[in-house]
Amino acid sequence: MNTLDDFLKGHPSAADLKAVIAAVASACVGISRVVSAGAIAGNLGSAGQMNVQAEEQKQLDVITNDMLSDSLRKCPPVAGFASEELDTIEATGRQGGFLVTFDPLDGSSNIDVNVSVGTIFSVLPAPPDKLLEERDFLLPGRRQVAAGYAIYGPQTMLVLTLMDGVHGFTLSASGEWLLTHERVSIPKDTKEFAINMSNQRHWAEPIRTYVDGCLAGKTGERGKDFNMRWVASMVADVHRIMMRGGVFMYPWDKREPDRPGKLRLMYEGNPMALLIEQAGGEAINGREDILDVQPSALHERVAVVLGSANEVKLVRNLSSV
Ligand code: P6P
């Protein structure tokens, strides 16, 4: 089997971009080990502080953030990075190259109960010759030059795109990423939807209509029965869709009417939307492609509906009436 190093060596993209991917991949090997050590290492539970999202930080949120930050600081083509766990950006002092945004441990509320979690990352072009500012990160998702996630589950996998399709690597016992899933392709149709049903009374009409159609199954207009999954770990739900299709929804809801959604645009919505589109799926915030959203703040949130193209098209049509 080819390794990630073999894959990158043979890839036409620029050497400095490949160095960024290698730096992220290397950090994820370490994160996998720390996550799998769990209670043995005494890293579970709360860190006793809140992050910029006003959410309680887990110890592993802080530990994994530091691991990925350290790896990027040491990677020459990285001009700066932003993390879900950091209030603002960190500039490395180098100019040009790339910006990286990341969620070091997505789904960390699952970590204490041993459910799959993951790392999500996005790579953007850095401005060529200026001191870095937060607004340099506020590029639409279409400007990404690479994105990916690591999923720490029964297997640890790295799933990434360098803008020519999506490829999956599985971490071997010896710590090597082996190419196990070439050119991942998401089925256009599905019988599986993922949403947190406990929020049903808060959704807007189009989402309620779409989910009601799935629940009606063969007895309704869809003419087929659906299954439901909700891991409450975006990386795990998206990975399932990458492997067998489906539709994932975290829509706007009226609990916080001024908030577009729960998930973050720059390091959850955009990287996942790029991967989904590169694998033949679609990713919208309801009406428009997530990748076309113009960010206005580093930690802004976005509504997310992504997955099998024909299902997302249905939601887009319902939202457009
Ligand atoms: P809820 C994890 O906290 C996360 O950000 C995503 O990974 C996940 O899809 C979502 O929130 C789960 O949210 O409201 O179902 O707990």
What does the angle CA 146 – CA 149 – CA 130 come to, to the nearest 5 degrees? 40
Provide the residue range defining the domain that includes 23: 4-181
Give the pLDDT score at 109. Answer: 82
Number of domains in the chain: 2
Where is the domain boundary, 147, 181, 215?
A: 181
| Token pair for 166 | 């999506």
44/92 same-domain check: yes
30/165 same-domain check: yes
Residues of the chain under the 50 pLDDT cut: none
Interatomic CA distance for residues 52 and 119, integer angstroms: 18
Q: Evaluate whether 313 touches 286 at the Cβ level (below 8 Å).
A: no
Give the pLDDT score at 196. Answer: 98
201/312 same-domain check: yes
E strand segments, the chain: 46-50, 56-58, 78-83, 90-91, 98-106, 117-125, 146-152, 156-161, 166-171, 177-181, 192-194, 227-228, 247-250, 263-264, 282-284, 301-302, 304-307
96/197 same-domain check: no
Strand partners, 282: 307
Ligand 1 mutation pick, 202, 234, 241, max ligand atoms within 8 A of CB: 234
Q: Is 186 part of any domain? A: no
167/228 same-domain check: no
303/163 same-domain check: no
Q: Is 307 part of any domain? A: yes
Q: Is 221 part of any domain? A: yes
Where is the domain boundary, 116, 149, 181?
A: 181
Q: Is the ipTM of this complex over 0.95?
A: yes
45/160 same-domain check: yes
Phi (first) and psi of residue 312, to 5 degrees: -65, -35
Ligand 1 mutation pick, 120, 230, 237, 250, max ligand atoms within 8 A of CB: 250
CATH number at residue 52: 3.30.540.10
Q: Measured from the CB, is residue 107 less than 6 Å from ligand 1?
A: yes
Nearest-CA residue for ligand 1 atom 16 is: 232
- The Å distance, Cα 208 to ligand 1 centre, comes to 19
